[in-house]
């Protein structure tokens, strides 16, 4: 099932809409052949505009170029770019059956009927839709519609697969299941994929690389691990995962704060803001003697795989700490927390 | 509150709805089945029915074609003056049938603009106001705004992703129109055609203003009833006209 | 494809829309402003305008009140025969104005059902078909189905949680109706009233069938134009009628 | 801000709709005064019907009784039950401002204008809506609408707060934030709350107790910890969190399976089905010598706070294992897994 795919390059692509609104500032982006890149950001950050530039549904402002494997496709409309697209609304054709929808791109290409049937059957099997083949699309569940939309996009063997929040319309439980399926499907197909989402869990699970965007700019591009452990800015760090801010001050090259058991050695030069950051799962509960921080449990919420503690009397605001679910904690006890030296994040205050 | 609504609803229904139609049915059944058949097989009435239906059908198809182009254009494009254009397009809705007839005469009648223009250009006056041609023009005039408004409303509700999906699969503009847009607009098109057809079948004011000898069914009914006092014919033809219109409306 | 649509759209617009109205305006301006004023201040025409507007207003209010009860009831309740009832409610839409006029005469005319019934009950015949009363009845007959359908469509789109929320806050049925249902239906009510009013202002077939001396504006225009050949009056009154109707429609 | 609340008791409440559909089989349920109970289950399980019985929007089938603090309210319509309701669609009155919406229940009660203003201001502050007070509700974001709906329900100081999937219409990021806010608000108010959701994370985070429902029946009722660690059936276990099935067989009172390093001592009598279950976070990576199970990593997906491994060559299907995010794993290595004796779940196969 491996498909031929292309590398995508955007060069100085900006987009200003008719009414003068700047949706995208000039950006550069490269997607390797076969790679899955996730564009992540809040609504209005320009991620969908970037996807539509790649698709050919929008043209970049003069000066911007879109290349597929080095070939300039900037002026090509979407119908000749050979891209597969999946929309948030699925956009299934209500006047066609499941089979009709999946085969539409092949009929447009005037392939022989036998070949269309063969290819559609192949996709029906891949997507476990065989039993729904002759059903009207409005009689499908959300998850089934999503799979039909994906099969339809894949049927003409596109060079690039573009997905615009394909799981957003589904409910939480189903979204998690489909995220896993989508991941193994994309690995299996090995097709160049650009995936737009505002859900960081989805981005982490699916992306070879994640491109974090905000206000029409690329804030950071990197592997999920790079983005999570070395966020380029506070905005990125806040958007990816949960983050605790520990306010304090630097004296004698060490960090002092309320609740600090002992001054903390600075892992890197602390920027002027005077705060350090850590993630809830990077704090371990330890005896007071070994603790970096000592505080009081204000609330403990059992979440199954973990318990989320709200710990007060540290810094200037309560911090969140995740401990394994089986740990049984009476709220309101005093606890010691240890944070490994490499788990501290130092971020510029202003970047928020 | 809710339980109390049943009684008045049924009363209103009975009083207003069934009584008049029952009256019509009673009169038309005056001579029994033979009377019905005599009227329904009368060549003059059949011709009149055929004329009425053909005229309404022609108006509907023409209005549909023109409105489709204009409606899709207006629903998609944003340009200066768009709102003003739409507001002016709805102007004919404000004029009753009598005035529309009057306008047709001003335009294509003996002293009409077209006649004057044709006289200046070709040396002979073009006059078609007092015939089916004038009626066709008049009906078209008040049908198009209604159809355009219905189509625009439907076209604006269309998910733009549907067209984008079709294009991403390689469909040309024409294929998108044929495979995606028209099927999606089909219910609105059906509803608009039915309404257009029903209105054209029953329009009277325009026909009466243009000429008393245009042989469409509402005119025939009026003549039978008022001038000839032929209640039987008038009632039977009324029922036929009502049945045809109701079927067309129910089908959509 | 899309770029090419501009030209025909503009052409259609110019040909069909502006020309007839321009013709009307040209004729009505024949005597200049003085002519306008003479007609607009003529007591007979003013009375006719007032009658027309009062009649249309009365029909609209009555139709609205009755349709609101029936429409809400039909939108909410599920009972056997509901679909048949709705289908029968729409029957009057199938009959043109002429036939509705005919029906009114069958019902309330000299040989009508009501007259017969009243004669049997009270010993004297009730006849109001040939007056404004008959016209009112006829207009109501074809207005109510339209208004009911519009209201039902709007009421079915209403989120039932809105009413449940109001009830959870302690609101009685009447308060729910006043504070939640009616405000939510307001746009549909306005649209339905405007359409109902505009139709009643311009209806001609029913009036003409009932009697030629009912003093509503379309009749006056017809008389001025066809019988008296008074083009100036007919054109001016047509413009007045069109302007009133257009304003009502645009307001909704 | 503590409100007077009541205990709720349902006795033998069933609900059959007009067309004969059985939405709810006879159930009993008690909610203590001030307690937050979450009704959890897939759509169509009867959870919303149960909420509507409590609200007074539906009457139970004959024989069922609804009690508020011992008082029979079965025949009382919703308008006299003094309950606050929040709907999934928010159901804000579009013809009123934010202030008008929140004050509606007070105006219906004909309170003096000054008192209404005071109470509405109090709620505007509590919900951080002060700056939106005079705004039309259709100019608010989803999260703001949700807060207005909650404020409106709370304004007349209801005896019970009923919430029908109040966060479902919001996007993932916002839902998580509001879940936390909702939790602290409910603790702060101490009002008896029944909360309907299909999202197990929401249920765990919010419920003092969770009632898991399926097909019109209560499958299990208990604290989040009870439900998570002692599920009464496979259906409950599957619905709450992720679960691995390990197929094998019992010989000599011990469990044998593919990939078992050594036969596993049975924690409880194993039901006939012959499979054992464990949760992804209960497996630890250990040297092969200490391992219960040995398998091969097929896929590793970094999710930030944890990495989810798919491990093959164990039992008859790949199992999922969660390890802390910082653990760096080359996929396709052979690993040993240890599972604590008390982490094994034994569930009847049939209960699925």
Q: pLDDT tens across A92-132, in order?
A: 999 999 999 999 999 999 999 999 999 999 999 999 999 99
Instruction: Please tell me the predicted confidence (pLDDT) of residue C206.
Output: 84
- Give yes or no for a contact between C19 and B113, defined as CB atoms under 8 angstroms apart: yes
Q: What is the mean pLDDT of residues D167-188?
A: 82
Q: Which of residues 124-183 of C touch B (CB under 8 A)?
A: 140-141, 144, 173-174, 177
Band of residue D351 on the pLDDT scale cut at 50, 70, 90 = very low
Distance from CA of B252 to the nearest CA of C (A): 13
Q: What is the mean pLDDT of residues A189-214?
A: 92
Interface of D with C (CB under 8 A): 18, 55, 57, 77-80, 82-85, 87-89, 91-95, 104-105, 108-109, 149, 152-153, 156, 162
Q: Which of B203-207, C167-171, D33-37, D139-143 has the lowest mean pLDDT?
A: B203-207
Instruction: Please tell me the predicted confidence (pLDDT) of residue A268.
Output: 63
Beta-strand relationship, A192-197 and A22-31: unpaired
**Interface mutation target, options C163, C168, C175, chain D, most CBs of D under 10 Å:** C168
Residue linked to tokens 């504070």: C179
Q: What is the mean pLDDT of residues D310-339?
A: 82
* Residue that wins the pLDDT comparison between D21 and D28: D28
Q: Supply D272's token pair.
A: 């006939």
Q: Per the CB < 8 Å rule, is D241 touching A279?
A: no
Instruction: Please tell me the predicted confidence (pLDDT) of residue B126.
Output: 77
Residue of D145, D150, D224, D144 lying closest to D188 (CA atoms): D150
Q: Per the CB < 8 Å rule, is C170 touching D79?
A: yes
**D200 touches A: beta carbon within 8 Å:** yes
- By C-alpha distance, the chain D residue nearest A41 is D173
Residues from chain B contacting residue A91 (CB–CB below 8 Å):
159, 161-162, 164-165
- By C-alpha distance, the chain B residue nearest A86 is B165
Instruction: Please tell me the predicted confidence (pLDDT) of residue B1.
Output: 43
Residues from chain A contacting residue D281 (CB–CB below 8 Å):
305-306, 324-325
% pLDDT > 90, chain D: 50
Band of residue A211 on the pLDDT scale cut at 50, 70, 90 = very high
- Residues in chain C with pLDDT < 70? 1-16, 212, 252
**Interface mutation target, options C48, C98, C237, chain B, most CBs of B under 10 Å:** C98
Residues from chain A contacting residue B79 (CB–CB below 8 Å):
none
Q: Per the CB < 8 Å rule, is C6 touching B73?
A: yes
pLDDT surpassing 80 at residue B252: no
Instruction: Please tell me the predicted confidence (pLDDT) of residue C6.
Output: 60
- Give yes or no for a contact between A208 and A223, defined as CB atoms under 8 angstroms apart: yes
Q: Which of residues 179-208 of C touch B (CB under 8 A)?
A: 198, 201-205, 208
Kindly report the average pLDDT of chain D as a whole number: 88
Q: Supply B121's token pair.
A: 């250009």
CA distance D349 to C136: 74
Q: Per the CB < 8 Å rule, is C170 touching D109?
A: yes
Instruction: Please tell me the predicted confidence (pLDDT) of residue B106.
Output: 81
Q: Per the CB < 8 Å rule, is B20 touching C226?
A: no
Instruction: Please tell me the predicted confidence (pLDDT) of residue C1.
Output: 43
* Residue that wins the pLDDT comparison between D224 and B225: D224
Residues from chain B contacting residue C242 (CB–CB below 8 Å):
91, 94-95, 99
Question: What subunits make at least 3 CB pairs under 8 angstroms with B?
Answer: A, C
pLDDT surpassing 90 at residue D316: no
Long-range contacts formed by C245-249: CB under 8 A, 24+ apart:
C245/B93, C245/B94, C245/B95, C245/B96, C245/C197, C245/C198, C245/C201, C245/C202, C246/B90, C246/B91, C246/B93, C246/B94, C248/C194, C248/C197, C248/C198, C248/C201, C249/B90, C249/B93, C249/B94, C249/C194, C249/C195, C249/C198
Residues from chain A contacting residue D283 (CB–CB below 8 Å):
none
Q: Which of A188-192, B27-31, B166-170, D310-314 has the lowest mean pLDDT?
A: B27-31
* Residue that wins the pLDDT comparison between D83 and C122: D83
Instruction: Please tell me the predicted confidence (pLDDT) of residue D66.
Output: 96
Instruction: Please tell me the predicted confidence (pLDDT) of residue A351.
Output: 43
Q: Per the CB < 8 Å rule, is D228 touching A301?
A: no
Instruction: Please tell me the predicted confidence (pLDDT) of residue D113.
Output: 95
Domains along chain D with CATH numbers = 8-239 (3.40.50.300), 244-347 (2.40.50.140)
Q: Per the CB < 8 Å rule, is C209 touching B201?
A: no
Q: What is the pLDDT of residues B48-98, one digit of tens each?
A: 888 999 999 999 999 998 888 888 878 777 777 778 778 777 788 888 888
Instruction: Please tell me the predicted confidence (pLDDT) of residue A161.
Output: 96
- Give yes or no for a contact between B92 and B102, defined as CB atoms under 8 angstroms apart: no
Of D224, D304, D343, the CB nearest to A302: D224
Instruction: Please tell me the predicted confidence (pLDDT) of residue D20.
Output: 81
CA distance B116 to B122: 10
Band of residue A352 on the pLDDT scale cut at 50, 70, 90 = very low
Q: Per the CB < 8 Å rule, is B164 touching A77?
A: no
**A87 touches D: beta carbon within 8 Å:** no
Q: What is the mean pLDDT of residues B100-112?
A: 82
Band of residue D352 on the pLDDT scale cut at 50, 70, 90 = very low
Q: In b/e form, how buried is each residue of A6-29, taking b as 16+ CB within 10 angstroms?
A: bbbbbbebbbeeeeeeebbbbbeb
Residues from chain A contacting residue B159 (CB–CB below 8 Å):
89, 91
Distance from CA of A84 to the nearest CA of B (A): 6
Instruction: Please tell me the predicted confidence (pLDDT) of residue D98.
Output: 96
Q: What is the pLDDT of residues A292-301, one digit of tens each?
A: 899 998 888 8
Instruction: Please tell me the predicted confidence (pLDDT) of residue A222.
Output: 95
């Amino acid at each position: 099932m491996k498909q031929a795919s292309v590398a995508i390059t955007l060069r100085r692509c900006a987009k200003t809409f008719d009414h003068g609104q700047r949706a995208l500032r000039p950006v550069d982006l490269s997607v390797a052949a076969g790679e899955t890149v996730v564009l992540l950001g809040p609504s209005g950050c320009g991620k969908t505009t970037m996807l539509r530039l790649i698709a050919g549904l929008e043209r970049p402002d003069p000066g911007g170029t879109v290349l597929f494997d080095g070939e300039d496709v900037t002026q090509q409309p979407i119908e000749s770019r050979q891209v597969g697209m999946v929309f948030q609304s699925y956009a299934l054709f209500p006047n066609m059956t499941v089979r009709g929808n999946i085969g539409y791109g092949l009929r447009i290409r005037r392939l022989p009927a036998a070949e269309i049937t063969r290819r559609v059957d192949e996709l029906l099997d891949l997507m476990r839709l065989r039993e729904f083949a002759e059903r009207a699309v409005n009689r499908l569940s959300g998850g089934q519609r999503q799979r039909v939309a994906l099969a339809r996009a894949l049927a003409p063997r596109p060079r690039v697969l573009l997905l615009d929040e394909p799981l957003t319309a589904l409910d939480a439980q189903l979204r998690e299941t489909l995220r896993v399926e989508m991941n193994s499907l994309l690995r299996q197909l090995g097709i160049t994929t650009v995936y737009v989402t505002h859900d960081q869990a989805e981005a982490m699970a699916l992306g070879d690389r994640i491109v974090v965007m905000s206000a029409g700019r690329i804030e950071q591009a990197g592997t999920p691990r790079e983005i999570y452990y070395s966020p380029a800015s506070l905005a990125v760090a806040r958007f990816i995962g949960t983050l605790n801010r520990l306010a304090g001050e630097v004296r004698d090259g060490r960090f002092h704060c309320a609740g600090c058991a002992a001054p903390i050695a600075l892992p890197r030069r602390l920027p002027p803001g005077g705060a350090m950051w850590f993630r809830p799962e990077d704090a371990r509960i330890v005896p007071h003697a070994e603790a970096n921080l000592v505080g009081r449990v204000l609330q403990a919420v059992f979440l199954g795989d973990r318990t989320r503690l709200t710990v007060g009397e540290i810094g200037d605001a309560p911090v969140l700490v995740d401990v394994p679910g089986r740990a049984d904690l009476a709220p309101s006890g005093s606890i010691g927390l240890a944070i490994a030296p490499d788990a501290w994040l130092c971020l510029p205050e202003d970047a928020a | 509150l809710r339980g109390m609504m049943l009684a008045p609803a049924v009363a209103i229904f009975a009083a207003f709805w069934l009584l008049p139609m029952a009256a019509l049915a009673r009169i038309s059944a005056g001579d029994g089945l033979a009377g019905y058949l005599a009227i329904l097989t009368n060549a003059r009435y059949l011709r009149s029915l055929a004329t009425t239906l053909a005229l309404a059908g022609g108006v509907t198809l023409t209005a549909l074609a023109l409105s489709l182009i204009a409606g899709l254009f207006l629903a998609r494009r944003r340009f200066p003056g768009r709102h003003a254009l739409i507001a002016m397009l709805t102007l004919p809705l404000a004029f009753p049938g009598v005035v529309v007839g009057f306008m047709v005469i001003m335009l294509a009648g003996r002293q009409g603009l077209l006649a004057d223009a044709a006289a200046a250009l070709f040396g002979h006056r073009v006059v078609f106001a007092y015939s089916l041609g004038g009626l066709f023009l008049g009906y078209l005039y008040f049908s198009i705004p209604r159809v355009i408004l219905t189509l625009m409303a439907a076209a604006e509700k269309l998910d733009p992703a549907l067209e984008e999906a079709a294009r991403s699969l390689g469909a040309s503009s024409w294929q998108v129109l044929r495979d995606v847009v028209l099927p999606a607009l089909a219910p609105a098109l059906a509803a608009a055609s039915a309404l257009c057809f029903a209105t054209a079948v029953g329009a009277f004011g325009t026909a009466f203003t243009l000429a008393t000898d245009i042989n469409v069914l509402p005119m025939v009914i009026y003549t039978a009833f008022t001038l000839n006092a032929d209640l039987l014919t008038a009632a039977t033809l009324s029922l036929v006209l009502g049945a045809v219109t109701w079927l067309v409306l129910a089908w959509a």
